[in-house]
Amino acid sequence: MSVSMNLLTLFFRLLALPLRLAEAVGLYGLYKRFFPFLMYRMTSSYNRKMREDKRNLFRSLPEFGTSAGPLTILEIGCGTGANFGFYPAGCRVVCTDPNPHFRKYLRKSIAECEHVSFDRFVVASGEDLGSVEDGSVDAVVSTLVLCSVNDVPRTLREAHRVLRPGGAFYFMEHVVAEPSSWTFFLQHVIQPLWYYCGDGCELTRATWSDLEAAGFSQLKLRHVRAPVMLLIRPHVVGYAVK
């Protein structure tokens, strides 16, 4: 399998060459303007298929609130605000995303989810949450984000930093498949082209290893097969407590 996988991977690298050149000369930025629209169209389908999984995941969020004020959630890579409808009533949400063009679609989600109190939108990557103070939030949320950050361990360190003691990091991320599977084969073959189509998305990350090494006091993680397209079907879902 390795020989055929390497040959096909090379083929897709060649297909991706025009996109690599477009990135080098600055034209790829045009796609970053279009990408939020694409994600907005795809979000409803993903949420419909993962509705019960998201409900089950976020059901325990209120447990991490305190008597000092409303439950404060920081969402890394908030995108279009796809998770707002699953958050508990009365919570306060701080949103970050490196792509400022998501702001338009984020506003639509805010208007549709009046039970959530929107705090602010910060243009920032997951690796650099410098505008958020240490120990200032009750929960950090990351869904379909760790696949595209440049540095997963650094992003998790930032999440750990901004969480108050006893706070929780919630995640729902697609990951690399079992090495012996055809999904694994296809993920590696298509990755060079997928990277550009998915705005930096990596299909081949074993994200659970980074979560296990992130230094949280408690980790509740499940491997699931999501009812979505084959390439992103393997998921890890759960939360980690600081």
What does each of the 242 residues of the chain score in pLDDT, given as a tens digit? 688 888 888 888 888 888 888 888 888 888 889 999 999 889 989 999 999 999 999 999 999 998 888 999 999 999 999 999 999 999 999 999 999 999 989 999 999 999 999 999 999 999 999 989 999 999 999 999 999 999 999 999 999 999 999 999 999 999 999 999 999 999 999 999 999 999 999 999 999 999 999 999 999 999 999 999 999 999 999 999 99
Going 212 to 58 to 163 to 113, the CA torsion angle's sign is positive
Q: Name the residue among 222, 229, 228 with its Cα closest to residue 51.
A: 228
CA-to-CA distance for 141 and 75, rounded, in angstroms? 5
Residue recorded with tokens 């209120």: 62
Domains and CATH numbers, the chain: 38-181+201-241 (3.40.50.150)
Region of 166 please: left (phi>0), alpha (psi -120 to 50) or beta: left
**In contact, 169 and 234? CB cutoff 8 Å:** no
Tokens of 31: 């796609």
Report the side by side order of strands in the sheet with 72-76: 117-123, 92-97, 72-76, 137-143, 163-174, 234-241, 218-225
Residue recorded with tokens 């390439």: 231
CA-to-CA distance for 104 and 201, rounded, in angstroms? 22
**In contact, 57 and 128? CB cutoff 8 Å:** no
Q: Could you say which DSSP state residue 61 is in? A: G
Q: DSSP characters for 100-151?
A: GGGHHHHHHHHHH-TTSEEEEEEE--TT--TTS-TT-EEEEEEES-TTT-S-
User: What is the per-residue pLDDT for 1?
Assistant: 60
Distances from the Cα of 4 to the Cαs of 8, 22, 231, in angstroms?
Answer: 6, 28, 18
CA-to-CA distance for 166 and 169, rounded, in angstroms? 10
Q: Name the residue among 204, 213, 79 with its Cα closest to residue 141.
A: 79
Q: pLDDT tens digits for 25-39?
A: 888 888 889 999 999
Helical packing angle, 2-15 and 182-197, nearest 10° = 10
